[in-house]
């Protein structure tokens, strides 16, 4: 019995940690990439190299990206013991909610009623999937 509960808590913790890493870093990655659109180079290759240099020398982009990628490592570790049909909707819906919450903490606009309704539908749908 306790082994079953331990598995459930470990799996849930993996899903939540993944969603936290993905969701809370999204607004920071968005902010850290500001200025990227102003880079203009004559060829595709030089444009790509200039954008890559800009992003990978910008700690405001790189630090949240590394945290986001660590969430992916936790996700793949959690997938080794969880069903993918459960893992994907749980982590993605939680990441959406954490993205909105962290955006609000950074001063982005609060979600509209339509967006809140959509979030409620997503969470309800995921809850139905899990309980079935």
| pLDDT tens profile 23-65 | 999 999 999 999 999 999 999 999 999 999 999 999 999 999 9
Percent of the chain with pLDDT over 90: 56
- Confidence (pTM): 0.81
Helix (H) / strand (E) containing 50: helix 44-56
d(CA 49, CA 28): 22
Long-range contacts of 84-91 (CB under 8 A, 24+ apart): 85/129, 86/129, 86/130, 87/15, 89/125, 89/126, 89/129, 90/15, 90/19, 90/126, 90/130, 91/15, 91/18, 91/19, 91/22
CA–CA distance, 123 with 117 (Å, rounded to integer): 10
Report the candidate in 111, 127, 90, 106 with the shortest Cα–Cα distance to residue 24. 106
User: What pLDDT digit, counting tens, does each position of 59-74 carry?
Assistant: 999 999 999 999 999 9
């Amino acid at each position: 019995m306790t082994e079953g509960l331990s598995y459930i808590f470990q799996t849930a913790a993996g899903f939540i940690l993944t969603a936290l890493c993905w969701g809370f870093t999204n607004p920071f990655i968005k902010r850290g990439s500001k200025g990227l659109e102003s880079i203009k180079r004559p060829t595709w290759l030089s444009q790509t190299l200039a954008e890559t240099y800009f992003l990978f020398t910008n700690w405001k982009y790189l630090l949240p990206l590394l945290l986001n990628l660590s969430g992916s490592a936790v996700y793949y570790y959690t997938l080794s013991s969880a069903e993918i049909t459960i893992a994907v909707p749980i982590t993605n819906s939680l990441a959406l909610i954490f993205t909105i919450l962290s955006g609000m903490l950074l001063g982005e606009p609060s979600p509209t009623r339509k967006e809140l309704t959509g979030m409620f539908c997503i969470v309800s749908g995921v809850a139905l999937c899990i309980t079935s």
